[in-house]
Structure 1
């Protein structure tokens, strides 16, 4: 009689019985407006309600004790926080996005049980299991592209646009709607690059020298080396408090306005103490700030810090426990005049790509001009504490850019190699895996209409290729 796949998993002990309730379409509730003195009523747009699915099942166990354990396994498998993919064996080319609803009561005998699993689909529609994919190079984009939605309903697409040149805007124009990010240049507003990279670390110790500064609260001792492309401490030396190696490198410029981003990989097991500190250094090689990820408690919580300083003054405008037990992510700081902005971002590895999962912003305004020293070099310190065993403490890389503020100009939003992803189902835009919601006011996330769709991408000459993905949707 078959079974089903839920959230990518199956159970060999479960079989679907006859009598399932799988409606042919999602429930429709008509909204009829009645008007006094008017016969009948006026038809308005209907409400499409969540689709219920009641599935009778047979569960085979070895004995009554095993049956109770299988019920626990079912709960672990089927109870999810969000709707996930549900595919039935007798409808293998359709996906429902479902989650269990209500309770599950079994009629139990010694070796088996029967009952009804109730699913609810907040998204009331079905989707084709095979995702449709279209790939279009610059030549085919020049005259627009055709996409056929063979479902019975409009469906939201996903566009991945990779650039081959700089641009201040991107347009995706449909027959009735359009999406735009950025702004088109004009004769009154010349394009400019807001960020100009001036320095970037490489996976080598070439160019690094022993630091002229002393790491906060400790001593400089030990050695930093490269392992698998990361900066790691291969020797921490010894010390009664914080101790470990520290190095520095000139960025080749002296910047009053700057952007500094550092990539970390910091975590620990219970009882391990560790820290990674990336220092901003002035022309004398002394700290004017730092970006920190550390574990200072035996309970292994990761903490993140952003500090700025000058002379005897010091301010931590980010100083908190991180919400994740390990920190694979980055911290950055941007200075523009008296305004400092920092970001802390958690990342993840997905299909070989590093994507940003969550990102938080923090600001500080230097109203009294107390933290206005120029940035000339950067430093890296990896530390252990006393005789405690250090945890994982790695720098994955760092970069510095100058910040260009230009009046009456239009900023470039991307350059060659950048990829913009437009997720029209989730209403999100990403640049190289990070949220980028600089959407034009009148633009909107649209759907592919049923049948043929004509799409135009502008400016086509700046685009290397476009990948379009969608699933045909059904009532």
Structure 2
């Protein structure tokens, strides 16, 4: 039986049989020396390591054209992916094919070689070990053969300016360290943290808001009608209202509106949502939907907003728009790797207004609230900068009687920023915030939002566990519960 080769979740030996595999020992090592003046002696300056190159010979039988094209599709990746060989099914490497993959064909038999570039030449355990902090201390046991990157998970039980994770002389720190002479920093204030479940339903009013898309267009205007259902940590549209077939065409659905306790000149708003086709797989591309999230002032003038729209019944395609005031400042389309009509779009929008600067970040989330794709845009507008946000308005709609989409809002967080200089906005933590640091990619996430700016400049960049036993501590001006996760690493 051929050796199993899993690459990016696909079994390659359904297409090929491995005939030889050359994995070498560790990574290529380059030793560096410096010749000492007036001497034949050389001083050792250390070494550097490169990625490893593994060569895999294979053969293919029958249907060579089809298999060659199938193999090309599986190898066509844009970044290193997990590679697992059947003789070590409990470990994986991050690898990407390199160069050409020539295949010689003789009648029904084809032979070739794949060169795998193995990142850092290291293997990782598929099993994840977890080490909890007890009284701000955690003991990590690494039975691998090399230092292992650590994932950091922390949930804040109080507000905090910063948090650090310490191992001997190594400190990885996040947040903002404010010294006594830094009086320019003004604390931000979280004014809303809404899980969008039944607990929060009394904060919202149904069908009193106005949509942005073609609301004042006479008979063809968008209509406010229908109802929502509050379940656990989300609110879902349960009824888009009725549509008269003999009248004009229009979008129709409910609005949800929440008034802020005060008008905000400067703020950051985070909203998580879902826009998902329903029904049988073959019918899902026919689903149409519109989702809006808008901020308005006390006089119902638009301050800034965002929308998603699928208005093409012939294929799965979703456009997204960013708005400042009454004007659309950007239109884009979700890329194919994000828009899968079998699962729809689940993600978040982050909108920020500081002075005359307006920023948008749209992100698609995969399992575990990890970012899969994002786009960020920043604009300046002096006239709209004078408006203050007082109202949040959601709108979800169905086009005529076409197949609708599952429309949900699952989280709302609004933070008041007390400065008009974005360089002086302290990146702090609030009670209930969740910090996650991906040890392998070194990416920082706050409540599922990637923000590498939370890493304190001057602190260590990576948190790693040496082989054997090691001790880690939490150092913070607040309180947090947490744990470390590790995949053991092998040379």
TM range (shorter): 0.7 to 0.9
Alpha-carbon distance change, 94 to 209 in structure 1, aligned in 2, over 3 angstroms: closer
How far has the Cα of 1:454 moved from its partner? 3.1
Equivalences, count: 455
Q: Which residue of 2 aligns with 1:6?
A: 6
2:211 & 2:128 partners in 1: Cα distance? 57
Instruction: Return the match for 1:349 from 339, 359, 366.
Output: 366
Alpha-carbon distance change, 151 to 248 in structure 1, aligned in 2, over 3 angstroms: closer
How far has the Cα of 1:155 moved from its partner? 3.0
Q: RMSD of aligned C-alpha atoms? A: 3.8
How far has the Cα of 1:180 moved from its partner? 0.8
SS of the aligned residue for 1:138 comes to coil
Alpha-carbon distance change, 320 to 40 in structure 1, aligned in 2, over 3 angstroms: same
Instruction: Return the match for 2:149 from 156, 162, 169.
Output: 156
1:213 & 1:88 partners in 2: Cα distance? 57
How far has the Cα of 1:203 moved from its partner? 4.6
Q: Which has the higher helix share?
A: 2
Structure 2 unaligned residues grouped into runs of 5+: 215-220, 278-283
The answer to whether the 8 Å contact 1:172/1:458 transfers is yes
The answer to whether the 8 Å contact 1:153/1:450 transfers is yes
Report the TM-score when normalising by structure 2.
Answer: 0.77
Residue 133 (structure 2) pairs with residue 137 (structure 1):
yes
The answer to whether the 8 Å contact 1:331/1:342 transfers is no
1:48 & 1:308 partners in 2: Cα distance? 49
Q: Which structure has the larger Rg over C-alpha atoms?
A: 1
2:94 & 2:474 partners in 1: Cα distance? 31
| Segment of structure 1 superposing worse, 322-331 or 118-127 | 322-331
Q: Which residue of 2 aligns with 1:331?
A: 349
Residue 108 (structure 2) pairs with residue 105 (structure 1):
no
How far has the Cα of 1:136 moved from its partner? 1.7
How far has the Cα of 1:289 moved from its partner? 4.5
How far has the Cα of 1:450 moved from its partner? 3.7
Q: Which residue of 1 aligns with 2:237?
A: 231
How far has the Cα of 1:124 moved from its partner? 3.9
Structure 1 unaligned residues grouped into runs of 5+: none
| Aligned residue runs from structure 1 range 26-425, under 5 A | 26-34=27-35, 37-39=38-40, 41-59=42-60, 61=61, 64=62, 66-92=63-89, 94-101=91-98, 102-106=100-104, 108=106, 110=108, 113=109, 115-139=111-135, 141=136, 144-184=137-177, 194-198=188-192, 200=194, 202-203=196-197, 207-211=204-208, 213=210, 215-217=212-214, 218-226=221-229, 229-231=235-237, 233-238=239-244, 240-251=248-259, 253-257=261-265, 258-266=267-275, 274-285=289-300, 287-296=302-311, 301-309=317-325, 314-323=326-335, 324-325=338-339, 327-336=345-354, 338-350=355-367, 353-368=368-383, 370=384, 372-385=386-399, 387=400, 389=402, 391-392=404-405, 394-397=407-410, 399=412, 401=414, 403-405=416-418, 411=426, 413-425=428-440
| Segment of structure 1 superposing worse, 405-414 or 206-215 | 405-414
2:224 & 2:189 partners in 1: Cα distance? 35
SS of the aligned residue for 2:144 comes to coil
2:366 & 2:132 partners in 1: Cα distance? 27
Report the TM-score when normalising by structure 1.
Answer: 0.80
How far has the Cα of 1:465 moved from its partner? 2.4
Residue 490 (structure 2) pairs with residue 473 (structure 1):
yes
The answer to whether the 8 Å contact 1:275/1:393 transfers is no
Alpha-carbon distance change, 75 to 365 in structure 1, aligned in 2, over 3 angstroms: closer
1:417 & 1:152 partners in 2: Cα distance? 37
SS of the aligned residue for 2:155 comes to strand
Alpha-carbon distance change, 245 to 372 in structure 1, aligned in 2, over 3 angstroms: farther
Q: Which residue of 1 aligns with 2:445?
A: 430
How far has the Cα of 1:208 moved from its partner? 1.9
Alpha-carbon distance change, 344 to 121 in structure 1, aligned in 2, over 3 angstroms: same
How far has the Cα of 1:471 moved from its partner? 1.9
SS of the aligned residue for 1:235 comes to coil
1:199 & 1:23 partners in 2: Cα distance? 53
How far has the Cα of 1:179 moved from its partner? 0.9
The answer to whether the 8 Å contact 1:332/1:344 transfers is yes
Q: Which residue of 1 aligns with 2:218?
A: none
How far has the Cα of 1:458 moved from its partner? 0.8
Per-residue CA distance 1:182-233 (angstroms, 9 max, x = gap): 2345566799751322474745675524336475421435313238632355
The answer to whether the 8 Å contact 1:4/1:86 transfers is no
How far has the Cα of 1:15 moved from its partner? 4.2
SS of the aligned residue for 1:363 comes to strand
How far has the Cα of 1:181 moved from its partner? 1.0
